[in-house]
Amino acid sequence: MSMNSDNLENMNEIDECCSSESERKSHHSDKVKNNLVTRLNRIEGQIRGIKGLIEKDTYCDDVITQISATQSALNSVGRILLEGHMKTCVLEKIQEGDTEILDEVMVTIQKLMKK
C-alpha cells in the first residue's frame, strides 16, 4: 500500500526523533501527534465495535471484515511512525557513522511485517 498525500504531508511536520543518548524519545510536531492520536482513537472505536459485533453474534465474515479494516488502520499508523523514524533518527545515526542502527531498523520492520 502506498502512503496517501495526507500521510506524506504529515511526515514533513516531524521535528525530530530519538534525541539524546541517555533517553530515547521521539519528538513529533503537534500536527503529526494529533494525526496519530486521531487515527488511534478511531481504531479504538473500531475495536469496541468489533467487540459489540461478537457480543451480538454477528455473522463471522462480517466480523472478520471489520478486523481486517482495523488491522489496516493500525498498519497505517505503524507506517507513518516508521517513515518518520527513517527520515529522522535513522538518517541522523547513519550520518554520525552509526551503522548499527540498520540492525535495529531491520528488527523493527520484521515486527511490522509479522502477520
* Domain ranges across the chain: 5-113
Q: What is the mean pLDDT of residues 74-94?
A: 93
SS3 state at 96: coil
Q: Which three cell numbers stand for residue 59?
A: 455473522
Nearest CA among 15, 35, 37, 34 for reference residue 25: 15
- Dihedral angle at the C-alpha atoms of 24, 30, 36, 39, nearest 10 degrees? 160
Q: What is the pLDDT of residue 24?
A: 74
Nearest CA among 90, 103, 104, 50 for reference residue 74: 50
pTM of the predicted structure, to 2 decimals: 0.77
Q: How is the chain split among helix, strand and coil, in percent rounded to 5? A: 70, 0, 25
36 pLDDT more than 50: yes
Let me know if domain 5-113 sits in CATH 1.20.58.1000: yes
**Mean of per-residue pLDDT scores for the chain:** 85
8 pLDDT more than 80: no
- Cα separation of 16 and 82, whole Å? 13
